[in-house]
Structure 1
Amino acid sequence: MDPLPTFSYDLSTELFSLYLQLAGFSREKGSLQMRKHNNCWASLLLLNLLGSLVVQGRPTSIRTERISGSAGDVLEDNPVGRLKVYIYELPSKYNKKLLEKDSRCLTHMFAAEIFMHQFLLTSPVRTLNPEEADWFYTPVYATCDLTPNGLPLPFKSPRVMRSAIQLISSKWPYWNKTEGADHFFLVPHDFGACFHYLEEKAIQRGILPLLQRATLAQTFGQRNHVCLNEGSITIPPYAPPGKMQAHLIPPDTPRSIFVYFRGLFYDVNNDPEGGYYARGARASIWENFKNNPLFDISTDHPTTYYEDMQRAIFCLCPLGWAPWSPRLVEAVVFGCIPVIIADDIVLPFADAIPWEEIGVFVAEKDVPQLDTILTSIPIEVILRKQRLLANPSMKKAMLFTQPAEAGDAFHQILNGLARKLPHGKGVYLKGGEKILNWTAGTSGDLKPW
């Protein structure tokens, strides 16, 4: 995979101030304050200004900013030599046959579970000797049983996972030594190991009881939530690296869009009144800013979607049914400052990626003030966020590259596992000791698969 672009920046302060005055803005204490009664043409003029001055690509003079502190230091950690992983050999009905049945599993946002398996099979951290393993991995494609419109069937996922755990616990001795405390699973459902796309249903189900002691690598993360185990590793959703690479535009293209978003504002099929979906945040975005010239927002999904993100300064990343979406990955890869609207979200690889420094967090209740919040950010802060986003290691950490590359999302997962070593003595059970309840769960989840 070719390297993703980095950018350098230039800013003419005097010219910028002049255009701000024409556009109806004033600079107060280093931030932009929108005056009342500003004209549409003036706002659009400001967009062109930001596009031509704030972000000017200069491939011959690349400027990025080094990430300081613990976050930046661990981005480039090398997990090789720090852990060994044993992969259980399961019957193909748990993985390969599911993929053969529906190849759409390779391109949807849950595909990390498939590519992680393929990566580990040839990774130098793999061991064929389970006696020397630090971690055990069970390759189950729990999101690869799809409806005709491409959505995972959540009621089957816990049955598939229970079946796989019953198999490894009966065929190998390692699960029973710890009841899964030295095992890790990829569970990239909307609400992780709660296996549902509706939060209310996910909370009712809870994390599959047999996974309570395991380490879960999951796209879902929200503080103080029943679907997030302590010690889970929050990972990015899958976004196709090759497809994004194919849509790169010249790095000197001006960023002429101030705020960009494409997606649903109302899920009319499942939530016709719009109050439950996204907890009303997306509906609020549309109602407040559909006619605001600073906001390029729509339900349309154009063929130029990736190109448009590269022309934008801010990309909205609001919650949907779950707090996360592939927009987080896309925004980072394309250097568009993510505006994260999802209260209490736990973001991917938060111990390695300084989200507070590269993104903007807006509380769901504050969505009606989005325009004021974003135009009040000091220009110097915008520039620094863009320089950090231009760091190639930041982009790579969000991608499941094929073939794998040092520092990519595969390696960040392994780094997360390595940081949890060595296992404490409390991981290993005494002879005959049981902690997990094999009969716990809903009646539907206990059905054989």
Structure 2
Amino acid sequence: MNRSIRIYIYPHRRDDPFRNVLAPVDFEPGGNYASESYFKKVLLKSHFITKDPLRADLFYMPFSIARLRHDQRVGVGGIQDFIKDYIYNISHEYPYWNRTGGADHFYAACHSVGRSAMNKVDMVRWNAIQVVCSSSYFISGYIAHKDASLPQIWPRHGDPPNLTSLKRKKLAFFAGGVNSPVREKLLQAWSNDTEIFAHHGRLKTPYADELLGSKFCLHVKGYEVNTARIADSLYYGCIPVIIANHYDLPFTDVLNWKTFSIVVATLDIPLLKRILKEVEQEQFLTLQENVMKVRRHFQWHLSPVDYDAFYMVMYELWLRRSSVRIPF
């Protein structure tokens, strides 16, 4: 993959009125939707780019859902029309989309609005590769193995902490807004427990300290199946417990999630403590050891590092490249 895959990025004019949407951000991304901006920013500087579309394995459509969301000229209500016009323009100005109906094209989006952004362009939803954080089997526009799950990651600097289970006194931890029936069910069952710490609202202690002091960290479906909590858990060496049905987990074509996480069905929330306590010490240590191994795959760097999140996304794209090159 590192030697062979080549990507052509659709260009835009310097005076394009939506250059802010098509160009990479000129600052270091932050927040919940940083993955989208990081990927674009790093990709444009990488050796994977080709200016010759005849050499390209894939074609990147560089619009940013997050920036469209906050652009007053577009906003949430105008994103679908913007994408529709964008696809119309590239399909009439260039021959590449029409060769495959967009099957060798892709875009990346982490904002939750992205799951409905393609509703007016069925060819994108059914044919193009969607690299998105909102990667749920339950959403009709997302097709597993054609599309790819992008992890939601808060950017962090420096080396991650190296801690052992001996410093982890709490069984499990969760903190977040109650914005889904699943989280409501979790808090109803465990908000007053002495071993599972489920919090709603602002914490009195630093968030990082809670992650560092817990054996298991709960990733509970909110408005979407995805949150940054999985990457948070891995960063702080805490075994992620995924309570989000229909979640196509990030890099699932590459990583064996059973070796470093526990998946609990939402119906089994009342059994959560029993499930976690049935994890024997040897199994727990193996899970934690694997957490320490895989967390490098869930980190962004402005200059990519082998096997980090950028290279993982590139490998997912490489797995999805067409095996048939269509001649002009």
- TM-score, with length taken from structure 1: 0.65
Compared CA separation, residues 86 and 330, structure 1 to 2 (3 A):
same
- Does the Cα contact within 8 Å between 2:80 and 2:120 map onto a contact in 1? no
Which residue of 2 is the match for residue 222 of structure 1?
136
Shift of 1:300: 3.3
Rounded to whole Å, the distance in 2 between the matches of 1:377 and 1:178 is 48
- Does the Cα contact within 8 Å between 1:94 and 1:139 map onto a contact in 2? no
- Does the Cα contact within 8 Å between 2:260 and 2:288 map onto a contact in 1? yes
Shift of 1:207: 7.6
Partner SS for 2:67: coil
Which residue of 1 is the match for residue 173 of structure 2?
260
- Does the Cα contact within 8 Å between 1:94 and 1:141 map onto a contact in 2? no
Compared CA separation, residues 418 and 84, structure 1 to 2 (3 A):
same
- Does the Cα contact within 8 Å between 1:238 and 1:326 map onto a contact in 2? yes
Which residue of 2 is the match for residue 157 of structure 1?
79
* 1:176 equivalent among 98, 107, 114: 98
Shift of 1:338: 0.8
Which residue of 2 is the match for residue 317 of structure 1?
219
Partner SS for 2:127: coil
Partner SS for 1:367: helix
Compared CA separation, residues 95 and 216, structure 1 to 2 (3 A):
farther
Shift of 1:86: 0.8
- The answer on 1:359 being equivalent to 2:273 is no
One-letter identity of the residue aligned with 2:231: V
% identical aligned pairs: 23
One-letter identity of the residue aligned with 1:415: Y
Shift of 1:147: 5.8
- The answer on 1:387 being equivalent to 2:300 is no
Deviations 1:90-147 (A, max 9, x none): 24544526889998x9323223222222112111111111111111111101122446
- The answer on 1:241 being equivalent to 2:156 is yes
Which residue of 2 is the match for residue 289 of structure 1?
190
Compared CA separation, residues 319 and 224, structure 1 to 2 (3 A):
closer
Equivalent runs, 1:172-211 vs 2, <5 Å: 172-190=94-112, 192-195=114-117, 206=119, 208-211=121-124
Shift of 1:281: 1.7
Which residue of 2 is the match for residue 82 of structure 1?
4
Rounded to whole Å, the distance in 1 between the matches of 2:320 and 2:83 is 23
Which residue of 2 is the match for residue 404 of structure 1?
304
- The answer on 1:232 being equivalent to 2:134 is no
Partner SS for 2:187: helix
One-letter identity of the residue aligned with 2:64: Y
Deviations 1:362-413 (A, max 9, x none): 111111111111112212111110011111xx11211222221111111111
Deviations 1:52-80 (A, max 9, x none): xxxxxxxxxxxxxxxxxxxxxxxxxxx32
Rounded to whole Å, the distance in 2 between the matches of 1:218 and 1:233 is 7
Compared CA separation, residues 284 and 228, structure 1 to 2 (3 A):
same
* 1:418 equivalent among 310, 313, 318: 318
Unaligned segments of structure 1, at least 5 residues: 1-78, 196-204, 268-276, 432-449
Shift of 1:420: 2.5
Rounded to whole Å, the distance in 2 between the matches of 1:107 and 1:225 is 27
- Does the Cα contact within 8 Å between 2:300 and 2:310 map onto a contact in 1? yes
Compared CA separation, residues 158 and 311, structure 1 to 2 (3 A):
same
Compared CA separation, residues 180 and 167, structure 1 to 2 (3 A):
same
Compared CA separation, residues 249 and 185, structure 1 to 2 (3 A):
closer
Rounded to whole Å, the distance in 1 between the matches of 2:25 and 2:55 is 35
Rounded to whole Å, the distance in 2 between the matches of 1:188 and 1:209 is 19
Partner SS for 1:286: helix
Rounded to whole Å, the distance in 1 between the matches of 2:283 and 2:206 is 28
* 2:20 equivalent among 91, 96, 104: 96
- Does the Cα contact within 8 Å between 1:219 and 1:234 map onto a contact in 2? yes
Compared CA separation, residues 100 and 363, structure 1 to 2 (3 A):
closer
Q: Which has the higher contact order (CA 8 A, sep 6+)?
A: 1
Which residue of 2 is the match for residue 129 of structure 1?
52
RMSD: 2.9
Shift of 1:224: 5.3
Partner SS for 1:313: strand
Deviations 1:146-188 (A, max 9, x none): 469xxx9433322222222222223222122222111111132
- Does the Cα contact within 8 Å between 1:233 and 1:349 map onto a contact in 2? yes
- Does the Cα contact within 8 Å between 2:80 and 2:119 map onto a contact in 1? no
Rounded to whole Å, the distance in 1 between the matches of 2:55 and 2:26 is 36
Which residue of 2 is the match for residue 348 of structure 1?
250
Unaligned segments of structure 2, at least 5 residues: none
Which residue of 2 is the match for residue 36 of structure 1?
none
Report the structure number with the largest CA radius of gyration: 1
Rounded to whole Å, the distance in 2 between the matches of 1:153 and 1:375 is 47
- Does the Cα contact within 8 Å between 1:94 and 1:140 map onto a contact in 2? no
Partner SS for 1:402: coil
One-letter identity of the residue aligned with 2:182: A
Rounded to whole Å, the distance in 1 between the matches of 2:167 and 2:313 is 35
* 1:299 equivalent among 196, 200, 207: 200
